[in-house]
Chains A and B, each alone.
Chain A
Amino acid sequence: MWRMVGCNHRQASVDLRERLAFTSEEAEAALRELRRRSPDQEAVLLSTCNRVELYTAASDQGGMLPSDELLRFLADWHRLPVSDLQEHLVQHNGPSAVNHLFHVASSLDSMVVGEAQIASQVKQAYELSIKADAAGPLMHAAFQAASRVAKRVARETAIHRRRVSVPSVAICEVATEFFSSLTDKRILLIGAGEMADESMRYLREAGVQHVLVTNRTQTRAEQLIVTHFGQVVPWEQLNQQLIDADLVISTTSAEQPLVTYDQFLRLHEARFQRLLLILDLAVPRDFDPQIADLPGTYLYSVDDLQSACDKNLAERTKEYPKAERIIQEEATRLLADVQHRGTGPVIRQLREQAAQAKQDELTRLFARLERAGIDPQVRSEIEQSFERLVNKLLHPPLASLRHAAEDGASHNGLLEALRRLFQLDQ
């Protein structure tokens, strides 16, 4: 009843993923188009930099578009030949699709296991589907369960607790070994490129509200603080800022070291050995490695931080089995729940039909007995007896249906048999 067709970082190159990517406006339009083509089918489209995945679901197999049609739909939407996609696409059907969704939402399928962004991207995709009127009860159940899985994995395992990107480890793990809090520290960010941008995000996460940013091209530093926060200081003041700073994050792409040992030695004397942490995230390095030997100055380069990242990644992997167990539990629970919900109308109809037959027979019987003068107590005994009879007759088929739903096994055949045997409405 669920299906997933798409590609991700495991099977498809960045180039193909980029060509298949949807903006949120495109995704909404695509979902509306799918709904138009197949009104009984629910759909959610998840498009991130690492994956483009189309999830579909319907209570009836006949209401779903087959995988090859979904593939054609994706190809046509981006005006790509189907053959270009075919070998890179992955598909899951039934419980496997749910299982895959749970892996994605809990970031076990991410390029960096444990990255936190994917859970919110899954949620946004689901919300977009609701907005496009493409989500129904099956998608509600699956994506709400996916959200629950993501939360449980985050809460019950340590998979998200270890950081794995260099700036995040540098700011959130290394800097905290030196400072109790970064909020009252004088922080100098050198450079205004991508690494500086990422560093700013982690600085904000650490509660920092003020950062001094300096860059050779001042306009780029100004753009950075517009996106984030902070204050630009002229490049010419670099030396003075290095004297005053508690934490320096350097991210330039300079070919030569920005600060040599001899240059820093003069600054070091002016600092009176005050504690200074330099996070040199630049490649090649901005600070002469010899600076690390000076008392009170601690210099970390990308290589130093990378080993901490690798260690954290290994720690995350250790948590994998625990997360898998959570996914299995939740997948079983979802399938049982959905199947149980599917049996609801059949059970209700069966009970109503039996109750009606019982009532008809009782009415006819009491009409005859009234003429002979029936004792009210006898009347009550007869009513209870009929009730017990109906319950005894209904118990075996209903129990079989309930057990099939709880086991998570496909019970469509059983439902169909009951409908035919008892001549229930479709």
Chain B
Amino acid sequence: MGGISLICIASSYGLALLLELSRLVARVPGRRWLVLLAIAAGVIANMGHLWARGQAELGFGQGLLATWYDWSLLSALALAIGSGWLTWRRPESTVGYFLLPPVLALTALAWLVRDVAPFSRHEAVTVWRSLHAAGMAAGVATVLMGLSAGLMYLVHSSRLKHKRVNTSRLRLPPLEWLQSLNRNCLLVSTLFLAIGLLAGVVMSLNRDGRVGWTEPGVLLSGLLLIWLLGAVGLEHFYRPAHQGRKMAYLMVANAGFLALALYGALGFSHGTAEQERLVTDPATAPETRSEQP
């Protein structure tokens, strides 16, 4: 992993862009798969490079993923994953024309800021904590919106099955729209919670040098994310689950897991000063803690 350089990452993304641009001049059989392969290679290289840097940063007692260089590459990674996802889902669209240049620009930015001094661990913790909180809060909000959409779907579907149309007292959006909202809420909430959880892991590593996996808040949030990933997989690979009531039931189940995760976070003072004091082993506390004012 340590051998992966910025050149490898930029070359993979650059190749994907070139393949996309070749649509303008020639018809290449299987081009979509080549583009996806190039993006996947870039993503793997990007992740490997960041992993190797993270290991090194921890080894040197620096903040984990706490440089402009790291953050540029992280942004490039997120955008590249988004580009790959859209290329996969919308093969007829040329989204790469618009998404891959910013990915390359972010990679170039990483190269330009490679010598900028890293942030301290304390500063890194602050940044990652904010991202963790924002990701989790947005995830919770989206799961709840999905729950509302799911309930609306079930109510509306039941009314329509019983031929109760055109009632001005309870007017709901079209069934098709609610179904689409359910699906989007599932995807977006999974994304936000994944970001929130990963940010939490990086924050813990920065703050404590380890992750308290057995802590109820972390454990149940992880369980929620695994459930959501499973739901996304089910929705994607099991065709009847794309539709109607099954999707609505999934959204209601998501809310159940969310309630569990919230119980773990709030019931055990996750993230509060008291809890931090308990989970932090003074013997393993990083030296850089003393840098804090």
Which residues of A are at the interface with B, using a C-beta cutoff of 8 A? 169, 173-174, 176-180, 272-275, 292, 295-296, 298, 300, 304, 307-308, 311-312
Task: Give the number of chain B interface residues (Cβ < 8 Å).
Answer: 19
| Known pairs A177-B156, A273-B240 / 8 extra A-B pairs, C-beta < 8 Å | A169-B166, A177-B160, A178-B174, A180-B176, A274-B242, A275-B244, A292-B161, A295-B245
Give the dominant DSSP class at B's interface.
helix
Main secondary structure of the interface of A (DSSP, over half): helix
Q: Which residues of A contact B242 (CB under 8 A)?
A: 272, 274
In the complex, how many angstroms separate the beta carbon of A275 from the nearest chain B beta carbon? 6
- Name the distance in Å between A149's Cβ and chain B's nearest Cβ: 27
C-alpha spacing A70/B117, complex, angstroms: 102
Q: How far apart sit A275 and B240, CA to CA, in the bound complex (Å)?
A: 10
Cβ of B166: which chain A residues have Cβ within 8 Å of it?
A: 169, 173-174, 177, 308, 311-312
Verify B243–A296 contact, CB threshold 8 A: yes
CB distance from A246 to the nearest CB of B (A): 9
Residues of B within 8 A of A311 (CB): 166
Q: Is B169 an interface residue (CB 8 A)?
A: no
| Contacting residues, chain B, for A179 (C-beta < 8 A) | 174-176
Q: Is the CB–CB distance between B176 and A275 below 8 Å?
A: yes
Contact indicator B165/A275 (Cβ below 8 Å): no
B175–A178 touching, CB < 8 Å: yes
Name the distance in Å between B184's Cβ and chain A's nearest Cβ.
14
How distant is B153 from chain A, measured CB to nearest CB, in Å?
11
A–B complex contacts, Cβ < 8 Å, 27 sampled = A173-B166, A174-B165, A177-B156, A177-B166, A177-B175, A178-B160, A178-B174, A178-B175, A178-B176, A180-B174, A180-B176, A180-B177, A272-B239, A272-B240, A272-B243, A273-B240, A273-B243, A273-B246, A275-B176, A275-B244, A295-B245, A296-B245, A298-B160, A300-B163, A308-B166, A311-B166, A312-B166
- In the complex, what's the smallest C-beta–C-beta distance from B125 to chain A, in angstroms? 45
Residue in A177, A274, A296 whose CB lies within 8 Å of B165? A177
Given contacts A173-B165, A177-B165, contact A295 B175 (CB under 8 A): no
Contact between chains at B175 and A275 (CB < 8 Å): yes
Task: Say which residue of A273, A275, A304 sits within 8 Å of B163 (CB atoms).
Answer: A304
Given known pairs A298-B161, A304-B163, A308-B166, the reply for A177 and B174 (CB within 8 Å) is yes
Report Cα–Cα, A326/B176, bound state, in Å.
Answer: 40
Inter-chain CA distance A295–B249, complex, in Å, is 13
Tell yes or no: B190 within 8 A of A by CB: no
In the bound complex, CA of A311 to CA of B246 (Å): 33
- Shortest CB distance B236–A (Å): 13
The minimal Cβ–Cβ distance linking B3 to chain A, given in whole angstroms, is 47
Roughly how many angstroms separate A273 CA and B244 CA in the complex, as a whole number?
8
Q: Decide if B161 touches A275 in the complex (CB within 8 Å).
A: no
C-alpha spacing A176/B173, complex, angstroms: 9
Q: For the complex, what is the distance from the CA of A308 to the CA of B156, rounded to whole Å?
A: 17
